[in-house]
Amino acid sequence: MIPSFAQIRYLLVASVLASGLSGCASLPPPTAELADAQQSISLASDADADQYAAQDIATAREALSRAQVAMAEGREDDARKFALAADADADLALARSQEAKMNAQVAQRRAEITQLQQRLQGEGGR
């Protein structure tokens, strides 16, 4: 018996749906994203983000915690989103911490320059 167009159409639709569903399921768990977020938070913490970018590092830690909960509950898409957000927040905390440290160093150098200029002016006036 020769299959009709309707039968072929149903097979075609079924195969397209099956391939679409398998494509969605083929994403690996976001373990790499979680590890990246943890590493970024660690780097930011090592750069004194708790002192210089407290809100940003707290936001990063909260997002990582949500990612871990979502992962444990099997919500891998949510876990991936939270992990990526945690990574970005930790990077921001690191950058702000580094900026604050550099600004402090610049202020210190300017104060030293001012002191040296005052000493030179004092010695020149004698």
| Class of the domain covering 29-124 | mainly alpha
Q: Following DSSP, what letter does each residue of 52-97 receive, concatenated? A: HSHHHHHHHHHHHHHHHHHHHTT-HHHHHHHHHHHHHHHHHHHHHH
pLDDT at 20 over 60: no
Predicted confidence at residue 27, as pLDDT, reads 80
Q: Domain extents for the chain? A: 29-124
pLDDT value at residue 12:
59
The answer to whether the beta carbons of residues 53 and 96 sit under 8 Å apart is yes
Instruction: Convert the pLDDT of each residue in 37-64 to its tens digit.
Output: 999 999 999 999 999 999 999 999 999 9
Give pLDDT, residue 117.
Answer: 94
